[in-house]
A and B are shown apart, each in its own frame.
Chain A
Amino acid sequence: MFHKIHPDMNLAELVEKLNLSIFSGKEALSKPVTGGYTSDLLSDVMGHAGPGQVWITLQTHKNVVAIASLKELSAIILVKGYKPDDEMLSQSIAERIPVLGTTLETFEITGRVFMLLNRDNSD
């Protein structure tokens, strides 16, 4: 959990700074980002992720969107060049949960998201 979040951070800025690809949800990129959660276990995310966070995962199926929507997460970031399957893609459009992508591995993208969200912290 981040202790200080850059107040102006939204998905559009995250996409730009981290050079993320956009699979869906272009129109929902003004959503604020409150933090991030990295996990491939759905019950872990269900139990512990918080509203407004971006979810970093390698899972590419529809249930990921269902959980993101129930938990009111801001977006999903797929790692290592993974692409959403067709059902995930259409569900993400219906639920207005952007699915973003990176070619980076989980460790690296998580670190970059963390650094970006905490860029004003000097400690």
Chain B
Amino acid sequence: MHFEYHVEGGNFSQAGFTSSQVKKTLKQLNVDGDVIRRTVIALYEAEVNIVAHAYKGKIAVDIDPEKISILLDDEGPGIPDIQKAMEVGYSTATPQVREMGFGAGMGLSNMKNNSDRLDIDSVVGKGTRVMIINYFNPTR
């Protein structure tokens, strides 16, 4: 199964739409509840990052019998120092975004803790690609 979604930078009123759609699909497929919960957390954070930091982005979701693979590809400022960005508490979010309760510097660690595989590639001035993979059989 393959799905694609578009995310608009700055549009917080749509943030979480893709996560909600993916959650519904995984429930329909009877995927293990814990895998759904982890996937939703990782995907929501990645989705919000596009809204908070990028101009626009595309989310491609592929589901096969073993796993869900999510590729988030954005056009945006990119991340100069990914290692730094992974640190809990580090954030470059604007004051307005922080006032909403986002931008606490927990998003990337939530993504890391809730994905079996997480790859982040970024080119400053161009954009960021994030790949999240979760396996349906947790013992794998």
Which residues of A line the B interface, CB within 8 A? Answer: 40-44, 46-47, 57, 59, 61-64, 66-67, 69-71, 87
Contact = CB atoms under 8 A, between A and B. Distances in A.
B107 A43 contact: yes
Given A47-B41, A64-B101, A70-B20, 14 more contacts: A40-B101, A41-B101, A41-B106, A42-B102, A44-B104, A44-B106, A46-B44, A47-B106, A47-B110, A59-B100, A63-B16, A63-B102, A71-B40, A87-B13
Contact of B20 (A59, A64, A66): A66
A43 B104 contact: yes
B15 A66 contact: yes
B25 interface: no
5 tightest Cβ-Cβ pairs between the two chains A and B: A66-B16, A43-B106, A41-B104, A42-B101, A47-B110
A46 B110 CA distance: 8
Interface of B: 12-13, 15-16, 19-20, 23, 40-41, 44-45, 48, 100-102, 104, 106-107, 109-110, 113-114
A42 B136 CA distance: 26
Nearest to A61: B100
Main secondary structure of the interface of A (DSSP, over half): helix
B16 A42 contact: no
A123 B52 CA distance: 45
Contacts of A71: 40
Q: Which of A42, A59, A64 has the most CB of B within 10 A?
A: A42
Contacts of B16: 63, 66-67, 70
Contacts of A69: 20
A61 B23 CA distance: 22
Nearest to B88: A43
Nearest to A39: B101
